[in-house]
Amino acid sequence: MLANLAVYAGGIMLLLGAIFTLIATIGVVRLPDLYTRMHAASKAGAVGGGLILVAVALVEQDSSVSVRALIGIIFLLLTTPLSAHLLARASHLAGYRPDKRTVIDDINKNAEQNSAQK
């Protein structure tokens, strides 16, 4: 009975993960500039992938599978923000400007301060 309940929960997790991944791609297609798209891809994408890994662990109900799913989730949570940050920083330093509606640009301000101090 409990095993069946875990299987149902895993199915719901799988569906939620697929919906989150779809929301991430809709954000990437519809948002106005690179930095807002990055926000959609890194957050919703990581949640979607993580939920699908949880679903695999819940449906299979095997300790070795669960450990590997947990390792995958930890890996995703560590690497997704890191790669988004690296890409945003590289793009900003390479001269890609944010959208006009962006009002705070901390990297630009810091760059001006640094050049003023020199």
Partner 1 sequence: MSPDQFIDWVSLISLALLTLALLLTLARIIIGPTLSDRVLALDLLTLVAMGFIGAIAVRTGLALYLDIAIALALLGFLATIALARYILLRAQSGGDM
Q: Is 75 in the site for partner 1 (CB under 8 A)?
A: yes
- In the complex, the smallest distance separating the C-beta of residue 64 from partner 1, rounded to whole angstroms, is 8
Between CA 74 and CA 8 the distance in angstroms is: 24
Q: Which helix (H) or strand (E) segment is 94 a member of?
A: none
Taking CB under 8 A as the criterion, the residue among 32, 89, 107, 111 binding partner 1 is 89
Total of residues contacting partner 1 (CB under 8 A): 55
Q: Which helix (H) or strand (E) segment is 43 a member of?
A: helix 34-60
Residue 97 has phi, psi (to 5 degrees) of -85, 150
The angle subtended at Cα 102 by Cα 101 and Cα 108, nearest 5°, is 140
The token pair that represents 55 in the structure block: 């679903």
Contacts with partner 1 by CB under 8 A lie at: 4, 7-8, 10-12, 14-15, 17-19, 21-22, 24-26, 28-29, 34, 37-38, 41, 45-46, 48-49, 52-53, 55-56, 59-60, 62, 64-65, 68-69, 71-72, 75-76, 79-80, 82-84, 86-87, 89-91, 93-96
